[in-house]
Structure 1
Amino acid sequence: MMVALLVLAFASLVFWLVFFRFKLIRLTPGWGVVFGFFVVHLLLVFVIGLRFVTPNSANATVVQRTIQLVPRLPEPTLVEQVLVEEGAPVKKGQTLFQFDRRPYQYKVDQISAQLAAAKQNVKVLKADVDAATQGARKAKVELEYAQYQKRIFDKLAQEQAVREETVEEWLTKVNAAEATNDAALAQLERARLQYKSEIDGINTTVANMESQLQLARYYLDNTTLTAPEDGHIINLQVRPGMVAGTIRAGGIAAFIADADRYLLATYFQENLKYVKPGQPVEVALDLYPGQIFRGTVDSIWRGNGIGQYLPSDDIPKFQQPPPNVPQGQYAVKIRLDHPDESKFPIGAQGLAAIYTGGEHGAWAVLRKISIRAHSWFNWLYPLDI
């Protein structure tokens, strides 16, 4: 920069000496155009230096994360209490809204009773197994007795001591006893399967009722909506008597988180050639005319939606963008050094200058003058008297 200033000063001196002091050459429009052409091109050095050594963005915005407060309830539910004031700071876990607990408490009570009945039914199933076991034993004994009697009467029939009708009678009894025994064994197996129906060592009916009870308690707990982290709510429109739940689209309020706020400034891509994380930044927010805030470059978002194509069966049509459409820019994430982050609310806008070579040097001085002039000019502009 100093070289450009010296060359400009020397050229101006030569121009003055030649055309005004000694009048060696008569000043004509041609000579004026030539000298003006030289000066204009020399001034480009200052423009290039400011753009690349101290890039400046007039589109810097304070960004805070927002959380959509959506009631996690399975059905429309009455809002009973609003326990937060608009704009008031809240802490993580603080109760914000209280919904009607009664329908969900009734559900918990109902499933609790069903769970108790299911646990009691397990004992009934155990008794059924014992009863079926005894029934199977009895049927087995009766079968063995019928078979024994049949063998005796078969022997007596061979000796012609009894009639054939008696033998046939005991054969029928044996067949009936076998059928009874098979039925008893099937009943025993059925009772055992019902009793042994388990998952992870718990009866399936009991496990099912326990999972339903956990879900019911989850919804009951969610009738109290608490702050997910430190923050505040603006534009609070929720009032007692409002119905919230599945019939609503989206959340009932926007929660603005206090933590991890930052400044996002957009720059033309070529101006980021020498920008790196950790470099110093000065910010002039429109919210605070006449004040300059310091920060550092956190990261560069090297991405722009212009380069994104969604899956489709349409072949892209590549056309030259209209001249009035601005060139695609990249965003730079900036961390402000001020200890009180509450001074920088969401959406606050301003100007941000990055000093790629540090805050010392001729280019930095020019940019400091420029950004401070912008900040002080905010006392007057916009003219909305």
Structure 2
Amino acid sequence: MADDTITPATEETPSATPTAHDALPEPEEEKSGISKRYKALLILLILLIIGGWFGIKWLIKSKTHVETDNAFIEARIVPISAKVSGTVTHVLVNDNQFVKQGDLLVELDDRDYRVKVAQTEAGVGMAENETGGEYRKADVARAGLQSAQANYDQAVLDLNRGEALFSREVIPKEQLDRLRTAKRVADSKLKEAAEALKRAQAEAGLSSRDGNKARILQRRAQMDEAKLQLSYTKVFAPRDGYITRKSIEPGTNIQAGQSLMALVPLQDAWITANYKESQLTYIRPGQKVEFTVDAYPGRTFNGSVDSIMAGTGAAFSLLPPENATGNYVKVVQRIPVKIAIDNTSDPEHLLRVGMSVIPTVFVGRSTSDILKDLNPFN
């Protein structure tokens, strides 16, 4: 019985104290933790390097590419009006139609003006006929002068003979007095005939050195004016452009100077970019410009800086600010910069007046110049 009893002391019981074999994985865990921190620091360092690179690149680009979103497309709007009044008979264009210089736009009823031209032409003919009559009057006056001259010469001759005969007591004194009176009368008639000839020559336009026909020239000037008024009944396009704001139709009665439509020459459009005064440090005329518009995303247009306005936009406003009154608060001003559009980048004339533009001016500064400005020890 005693041999069959198994004492519990002979069995191996697990110990609660950890052995050296159980403590071996701890260095691997520490190594793994160090490796993760190293990777995190490495990733952070890479991110810092990349961020610094892009930050420096963005800073350099902001110094070499001056950009603003306060810019719009502008163009000269040419108002089309008639120089004479009348009734519109034909309108040969529509809104937004492209026209070339010299194209006929509007026709007015020209019957009244044709009648005026006919009247003035008749006036020229009458003036020429009147001038012919004045010439004949001058010839008559010239003949009268010659007759008066002959009578005067005869009276002088008779008086000389009478005085010779009176000295020899052949004729009485009474007859001599009559001869003297006849001579004075002939002298007066000669002067009267001379004045009549001068008056006739002046009326015929023969008194001036160049033979000016004042009356005919006056009537011809009136005829030319009437023809000019007749030509104004047709309104032509003053230049190439697009028609807009058409406000007339056939049958409309218009007055001289009334606006009929507007013409926009988009081929001569430009950009007005309102840059902050702090952005104008290195902007100069002639610098290259690239710009985009919201209407055509992904498309880039080209241009160049044309000029910089002589003052800020506020200085030329209707009510310019008066900084000498009240409390002063400094506000960054904007100065308009005119940018000429390169027509080769917009051959279809897609750009329209008033479109929002984001222009970028390439000021041409080098990276070394920018880094020199950033150096605090300069």
Deviation, 1:242, is 2.1
Corresponding residue number in structure 1 for 2:226:
216
Deviation, 1:196, is 2.4
Whichever of the two has the greater Rg, that structure is 2
Matched residues, number: 314
From 340, 357, 377, the counterpart of 1:334: 340
SS in 2 for 1:253: strand
User: After alignment, is 125-134 or 277-286 more displaced?
Assistant: 277-286
Corresponding residue number in structure 2 for 1:121:
130
Structure-to-structure mapping, 1:317-356, within 5 angstroms = 318-319=324-325, 323=329, 327-336=333-342, 337-356=344-363
SS in 2 for 1:177: helix
Distance 2:179 2:66 in 1: 110
Alignment of 1:66 onto 2:77: yes
Q: Letter of the aligned partner of 2:303 in structure 1?
A: T
Deviation, 1:66, is 1.9
RMSD: 3.5
Q: Letter of the aligned partner of 2:163 in structure 1?
A: D
Distance 1:329 1:187 in 2: 77
Q: Letter of the aligned partner of 1:62 in structure 2?
A: I
Q: Letter of the aligned partner of 1:111 in structure 2?
A: T
Alpha carbons 1:59, 1:265 under 8 Å: kept: yes
Alignment of 1:302 onto 2:284: no
Alpha carbons 2:90, 2:108 under 8 Å: kept: yes
Alpha carbons 2:288, 2:305 under 8 Å: kept: no
Distance 1:182 1:309 in 2: 77
> Which stretches in structure 2 are left out of the alignment for 5+ residues?
1-36, 42-53, 371-378
CA shift in 2, pair 1:204/1:223, >3 Å: same
Structure-to-structure mapping, 1:11-90, within 5 angstroms = 49=60, 51-73=62-84, 76-90=85-99
SS in 2 for 1:84: coil
Alpha carbons 1:197, 1:204 under 8 Å: kept: no
Alpha carbons 1:52, 1:272 under 8 Å: kept: no
Alignment of 1:276 onto 2:297: no
Structure-to-structure mapping, 1:164-313, within 5 angstroms = 164-194=173-203, 195-196=205-206, 202-246=212-256, 251-288=259-296, 290-304=297-311
Distance 2:176 2:280 in 1: 109
Distance 1:110 1:259 in 2: 45
Q: Letter of the aligned partner of 1:340 in structure 2?
A: P
Deviations 1:189-216 (A, max 9, x none): 2223332266976412222222222222
Alpha carbons 2:269, 2:340 under 8 Å: kept: no
CA shift in 2, pair 1:291/1:130, >3 Å: same
Distance 1:241 1:322 in 2: 59
Q: Letter of the aligned partner of 1:300 in structure 2?
A: S
Deviations 1:209-262 (A, max 9, x none): 22222222111111100111222211211122222234x5x5222111243222
Q: Letter of the aligned partner of 2:106 in structure 1?
A: F
Alpha carbons 2:124, 2:219 under 8 Å: kept: yes
Q: Letter of the aligned partner of 1:139 in structure 2?
A: A
CA shift in 2, pair 1:242/1:359, >3 Å: farther
Deviation, 1:156, is 2.6
Alpha carbons 1:233, 1:253 under 8 Å: kept: yes
Alpha carbons 1:52, 1:273 under 8 Å: kept: no
SS in 2 for 1:78: strand
CA shift in 2, pair 1:163/1:321, >3 Å: farther
Q: Letter of the aligned partner of 1:353 in structure 2?
A: T
User: After alignment, is 132-141 or 206-215 more displaced?
Assistant: 206-215
Deviation, 1:186, is 0.9
> Which stretches in structure 1 are left out of the alignment for 5+ residues?
1-16, 22-42, 311-315, 364-385
Alpha carbons 1:276, 1:297 under 8 Å: kept: no
Distance 2:334 2:228 in 1: 47
Distance 2:317 2:357 in 1: 31
CA shift in 2, pair 1:77/1:328, >3 Å: same
Percent of residue pairs bearing the same amino acid type: 21
Deviations 1:326-349 (A, max 9, x none): 514131313245242421112222
Deviation, 1:134, is 1.1
